[in-house]
Structure 1
Amino acid sequence: MSTHNKFLSKIKVETSTEGFTLYYQQRLILRHTLQAPCLWIGTGIADIEMFRGNFSIKDKINEKIALTKTKVAQLPESWQIHFSRGESINATLLITTDDAGRLLLKLQNGVNSHNRIWLRLAANPDEHIYGCGEQFSYFDLRGKPFPLWTSEQGVGRNKNTYITWQADCKENAGGDYYWTFFPQPTFVSTQKYYCHVDNSCYMNFDFSAPEYHELALWEDNATLRFECADNYISLLEKLTALLGRQPELPDWVYDGVTLGIQGGTEVCQQKLDTMRDAGVKVNGIWAQDWSGIRMTSFGKRVMWNWKWNRDNYPQLDKRIQQWKKEGVQFLSYINPYVASDKDLCAEAAKRGYLAKDASGNDYLVEFGEFYGGVVDLTNPEAYDWFKDVIKKNMIMLGCGGWMADFGEYLPTDTYLHNGISAEIMHNAWPALWAKCNYEALQETGNLGEILFFMRAGYTGSQKYSTMMWAGDQNVDWSLDDGLASVVPAALSLAMTGYGLHHSDIGGYTTLFGMKRSKELLLRWCDFSAFTPMMRTHEGNRPGDNWQFDSDEETIAHFARMTTVFTTLKPYLRQAVAQNAATGLPVMRPLFLHYEDDARTYTLKYQYLLGQDLLVAPVHEQGRRDWSLYLPEDNWINVWTGETYQGGEITVDAPIGKPPVFYRASSEWASLFASLHHI
């Protein structure tokens, strides 16, 4: 039996007068009958409007047609199913395997004008679904539709909250539960298979129905891949073999907190001295205003001209080298747009490197009281030019890393060098942006030494983005957009094949009267000490927010929690190495290691850090105790040494002692026990 035929033996297609069923490794994937067809096709006209990265998306559907009749043909190395409705309406499904033996489904509409597909995958009523990129409000996706479109994550993200209503009234920026910087058409089922769709068009994955999952695509074709495994760890290994894995983090990341500081060279030095003198472990300074500032009604914004601003940061080049000798990296900021009133934009325009509008002029996007040109990353010359900007202006300066921001703003009515519709390229754009940064590191020999972190992503980000951060959370306690939302975000990405995640300590978005409190900052710091990276952010209105150096007690808190973080260095480094080697994420849902425990499948606000630490961050204001769930095992409270065997428990959780437990049988038990004395 040939290798290909061996793979095909895992596929079973049964036909009847009513239709067909498709099984893959004993999982029912498709079920089609005359009364309950699995495929619809149709025609729609997209109405997509963007304002500052917030999208209003509507579809005028002219027709949605169920293709009820099927004709199945078995070919030597595949099955072909011809769907039809009448004489002229049809589509073809090819069922085969790819080169790695994955189940491969290729759909193609038979009429050029049909640009919509609705495919229903078979489901079980008690099935759980995870993934679809970075989801902030839900971890188990069952019961809701999830439109997949990279955009701003929204302010508030819950239509029942006053903050969301205010943001919607101002500029349609409130968002909803599914708004995300990093969507992806990939999900994992508790039937122990994953489904990944190769396309990058607008999609809607609807997991609402008990008997099927409906995948809607705004395109005339679709390619789906499936793999199965006996357990979730093996399944993620297979998924990340398809999508790619993140390289290991630079060693300096584990050596303390990266302080978000703005205001110039001397301000950075003064704040660094203050923190280190108080015992804070500092691994870096992240100065997003290294290229200058622009004041707007939103707050202090970065000047989008990606070169060192010598007026704001005098002698920065020398200071970077001094800091590096002291074990402190300097991190900067960049995004894939260039401010229209600055020289980099003028240079890009002169060279023809900006995306165009319908008239052939440079497309300028309004970003909030200023405009920016879109560097056309589909133009090889523009791509290489921008990569050189990163190499010459950031790497050669000595930057140890940077925030590679944005990526989700590509307007759908722009015209690109590669000739592909911007509606199709929109979702793919952040992964292309990640690739540009990745190659700048790779080509200068700095992979593993320099770190860039991103908020936007899509398929391909697994391979090219070296770290994700959760974006712009509110400086509040809200479930959908505050501290709590970061945990399901990390876990959803973990089940989408991306295993490195962190967040702005204290959140970012400071609008509509929100102000970061001292308690929120300290709780967020507690949480971040048990993630792969610690990094602060002033927020968009720093004067309204409690900061890491606002008082001596806060500084002392950072000293203690950064000591906790650095003590965990060997354990974190091992977990990150596992992610790089096998795709096993650093922050993990509990069911990865306790899959026989039904309770673990519904937990979205606690996680495993590696295999041996269980973390349940306190995410409510004013709490001094906390309730959580421990799966059956021998657990030890890191701070008290008390032992537990599992179940629902309530523990004391004062600030500085978040609920964290370790497995008594862990090889790292003595390391974890040492945290008690910090």
Structure 2
Amino acid sequence: MGEARGRRACIATAMCAWVLAALVSGAPAARADVSIGPDRVVVRTPSMSATVVRATGHLSFADASGAPLLAQVPLRGVPRRLTGVDPKLLGFEALKDRGVYAPFAYEVGSSRRSQFTTGIWSGNLLLGVRTGVVHGARSVIEAGAAGDGVRVVLATTEPGRRLEVLIGPDPASPAALRVQAAVTPRDRVIALGDSFVSGDDERFFGFGGRHNALSQRGRTFNTWVEAQNYGAGALQPLVDAIDRQNGPAYLFPNGANAAYYPQSLFVSSRPYGFFADNDDVVRWRMASDRPDAWQVSAEGSRLDYTVAPGRGAAAAAHLSAINGRHRLPPAWAQGAMLSRTVRIFGQDTPASYERRVLADVAEIERRNVPITSYKFEGFAVMPRSVVLDVIRRLRARGVRSVLYLRAFTSKDNALTESLDAYAEALREGYVVNDASGRPVTWTTPFGARGALLDFTNPRTVAWWEGRVRDLLDLGADGFMLDFGEQVIDRMRFHDGTPGAKMHNRYPALMHRVTREIADRWSAEHPDRDVPFFFTRAGSSGRPGAAAHEMANFAGDGSTDWHIASGLPAQTTDMLNRAVGGAWGFSTDIGGYADYVTTSTSSELFVRWSQWAAFTPYFRVHNSSRGGLRMPWFYGDRVYGLWRDAAALHARAVPLIRRLWAEAEAGGPPPLRPLWMAAPDDPQAAGEQQAWMLGDDLLVAPVVTKGARTRTVYLPEGCWQLQPDGASYEGGRRVTVAAPLERLPWFVRCATNPLG
């Protein structure tokens, strides 16, 4: 039996423990208690309630004790004419775009937006303009029981228009309350949102893989899957002169909040959790143009959101129950991995790439490199006999092979698929078309025409299954599943879905289809581990991409020290996406994108390796243009420091796996931001570059070039610096020595989390 069969028993055991705990504490039933009175309508679960005041239509939420959680803003100042620019051109707020705040605010008018339609940013938003009148809800005109909750019909400030609102337990997390609102009639309604009271004390944590910060208070941004956003680097002074809002976290071309893996969910410090489930653009104004309010708005005439009770990890558990949670991978996948990327822009040929792979294998054998897997992307253009021999040689050393697939097909110089795949996919109709039925092609990041695969087409899925099965039958134990951000509005999928509705949904669809194929193959091969694959793009949903994944990598981070897209960006990205269940985070040790930065330096490589030691995965994958830097590239000293980091990671893996199994069954994320670990401590909430692994281990990596000390905030309690054991009292910031040889990490006094 494969190792993964054993891990299922582990998960089952952890899940039984969490389910038993929930039963003992009185887990809520799916049906709510509904009270429809002359003055108000109330929906209650054992954990929270929602109240609608009949006279005003005002909606508010409270916890089980009646303490306020969340309340709509009062109706004032609508209808109001609105002209907005969103998204902003290149992420700059050159034209101020202020929101109109009202309960169930909806916009009637017209809107237009444009996207990048070719090149590395294909699918990213470029500019949006809308104009119209904003209206809001003003009173209840009808209320009655509906399903497990209540249906309320609201009058609006616009004659002849109504809002129908369903409120009831969320079926994916019944302690939480779900609100589904729709405007009728829906003609010319371009957006529907809701606005809530906030205050100076409120912070908003999550929203997926955002780099700029852990709390998004004071920010205005969108949920839209976007690729290839990079820091400004030497052009930062120009960015600052144009727009102060983005700051040093500015990403080109979509601004500081751009993300490969956005999620429409967050945990508030108030406390509560919030989840929005809409496929098109979701806009967020998080106490940005009004410090006393925040707003969520979705394109179209419908809005679907859930409010979850609880603080920190408890609220996050409700959100991930809806969105889905990363599956525990086979143990080998969490060991050290080396990746042989393809040098793009024609720097590699099939012959030169094959030579590099064979040289890597020889070096791994000669040095006895401590890895558990090796990924080579260009396997499809290598002779099959050579691929089989590489897999055999690696397997003899206990090293698993990981190959490569991507969301589109193209006859380009990336060398990641057979040269006839593109022609076959277009000929057989496996790609996405436009409304007229013609294939939509674009220039890929590798300089050739490409086309996106249509996973709503059963024939495409069958073809894709053949590709997945082929690489697994070769003897590979997993693969990288790349891209997925390239859906543009003019696309029309086989099932009729327009591009605008599919863009955010596409990664989850691709990952679900691939997971189902992998699971079928696994059932047919009980002697093999469940296939492992890791992904790039993703978004939230019901469920979102996280439900089908074991790991994500952070996208093409830059080979530098900048918060925008370099080493420090990995921390905020990892901790933000974990809020929504995507805690299987994998970084490219050393960075990847060196288009406008220098290639990975030895110092950056060491610090990045140390950073990855206490994360779920430990994978070298750096430099797209200059060529991969393997650990031995930098000489014996750096190679030794990389081995030290790999050994520390290996020590941490058993703890990570235990915490992961608990998280998958409803517990806290394995890696926890300090705001979650110490929710009563406002100082902890401000710590951006440290995290907890479980309850008793705190990691404070060095993310600043040239730094040889590290200052970090320690939560209350006694902490011991490792490995020397020096003790520090928490509740304050401490500075410790951090020479290049040392990763600062602490354990609670009298604990031994690594065993």
Shift of 1:44: 3.1
The answer for the alignment partner of 2:243 in structure 1 is: none
- Secondary structure class of the residue paired with 2:295: strand
1:385 maps to which residue? 463
2:224 touches 2:282 (CA, 8 Å); kept in 1? yes
Q: CA deviation at 1:117?
A: 1.6
8 Å Cα contact 1:477-1:483 kept in structure 2: yes
Does the C-alpha gap of structure 1 residues 515 and 401 become closer, same or farther in structure 2, counting only changes over 3 Å?
A: same
Are positions 1:105 and 2:186 aligned together?
Answer: no
Q: CA deviation at 1:417?
A: 0.9
Q: Map 1:207-226 to 2 at 5 A.
A: 207=286, 208=288, 209-226=290-307
Question: In 2, are the aligned partners of 1:19 and 1:34 still within 8 Å (CA)?
Answer: no
**Which of 175, 181, 184 is 2:263 aligned to?**
184
Cα separation, 1, equivalents of 2:253 and 2:59: 42
**Residue 52 in 1 paired to residue 52 in 2?**
no
* 352-361 or 452-461: bigger deviation: 352-361
Quote the Cα distance in structure 2 between the aligned partners of 1:22 and 1:139: 26
One-letter code aligned to 1:427: N
Aligned to 1:525: 609
| 1:244-323 correspondence to structure 2 within 5 Å | 244-260=324-340, 264=353, 267-275=356-364, 277-278=366-367, 280-292=369-381, 309-310=382-383, 314-323=385-394
Instruction: Return the offset for 1:495.
Output: 1.2
CA–CA separation in structure 2 for the residues paired with 1:410 and 1:217: 19
Q: Does 2:521 match 1:454?
A: no
What percent of counterpart residues are identical?
22
Q: 1:616 to 1:228 in 2, by over 3 A?
A: same
Question: 1:488 deviation in Å?
Answer: 0.5
Structure 1: distance between partners of 2:329 and 2:421: 31
**Structure 1 residues 664 and 60: alpha-carbon distance in aligned structure 2, compared to 1, 3 A threshold:** same
The 1:2/1:470 distance shift into structure 2, 3 A limit, reads closer
What one-letter code is carried by the residue in structure 2 that aligns with 1:649? V
**Aligned partners of 2:30, 2:331: CA distance in 1, in Å?**
42
- Counterpart-to-counterpart distance in 2, 1:240 and 1:420: 26
Q: Which residue of structure 1 lines up, in the alignment, with residue 247 of structure 2?
A: none
Which TM-score applies when normalising by structure 2?
0.80
Residues 66, 85 of structure 1: 8 Å contact kept: yes
TM superposition shift of 1:380: 2.3
**Alignment of 1:96 onto 2:163:** no
The residue identity in structure 2 corresponding to 1:33 is L
Q: Which residue of the partner structure matches residue 430 of structure 2? A: 353
- C-alpha displacement of 1:390: 1.1
Q: Closer, same or farther in 2 for the Cα pair 1:413/1:629, shift >3 Å? A: same
Residues 2 and 480 of structure 1, relative CA distance in 2, 3 Å threshold: closer
C-alpha distance in 2, partners of 1:448/1:458? 27
Q: Call closer, same or farther: CA 1:623–1:440 in 2, change over 3 Å.
A: same
CA contact 1:597–1:631 (8 Å) conserved in 2? yes
Q: Distance in 2 between matches of 1:422 and 1:534?
A: 35
Instruction: State the partner residue of 2:156.
Output: 84
1:96–1:560 Cα change, 3 Å: closer
Distance 1:107 1:271, change over 3 A: same
Pair 1:662 & 2:739 matched:
no
2:439 corresponds to 1:399: no
State the AA in 2 paired with 1:75.
Answer: G
Q: Deviations over 1:398-446 (max 9, x none)?
A: 1122211101111211111111221011001111111122112111117
Cα root mean square deviation, aligned: 2.6
CA drift at 1:30: 2.1
Match of 2:408 in 1: 337
Aligned equivalents of 1:597, 1:86: Cα separation in 2: 45
Partner of residue 674, structure 1: none
Measure how far apart 1:580 and its partner are.
Answer: 2.3
1:430 matched residue in structure 2: 507
Q: What is aligned with 1:616?
A: 700
> Counterpart of 1:445 in 2: which secondary structure?
helix
Give the corresponding residue for 1:152: 227
Q: Is the 8 A contact 1:518 1:546 kept in 2?
A: no
Unaligned segments of structure 1, at least 5 residues:
166-171, 293-308, 672-678
> Partner of 2:633: helix, strand, or coil?
coil
Cα distance in structure 2, aligned partners of 1:19 and 1:160: 49
The runs of at least 4 aligned residues of structure 1 exceeding 4 Å deviation read 16-19, 157-160, 162-165, 261-266, 275-279, 543-548
Partners of 2:278 and 2:591 in 1: CA distance: 33
Aligned position for 1:41: 106
- Structure 1 pair 361/321, CA: closer, same or farther in 2 (3 Å)? same
Deviations 1:283-304, CA, capped at 9 Å, x for gaps: 1111122234xxxxxxxxxxxx
Q: Distance in 2 between matches of 1:580 and 1:157?
A: 37
Farther-moved stretch of structure 1 (354-363 vs 51-60) = 51-60
Q: Which residues of structure 2 form unaligned runs of 5+?
A: 1-27, 35-42, 78-100, 241-250, 343-351, 413-418
Quick check: 1:365–1:372 contact (8 Å CA) kept in 2? yes
SS state at 1:315 partner: helix
CA shift at 1:520, angstroms? 0.4
1:507 and 2:591 correspond: yes
- Where does 1:610-649 land on structure 2 (aligned, <5 Å)? 610-646=694-730, 647-649=732-734
Superposition deviation, residue 49 in structure 1: 1.8
How far residue 3 of structure 1 moved from its aligned partner, in angstroms, is: 6.0
Could you tell me how far 1:593 is from its partner in structure 2? 2.5
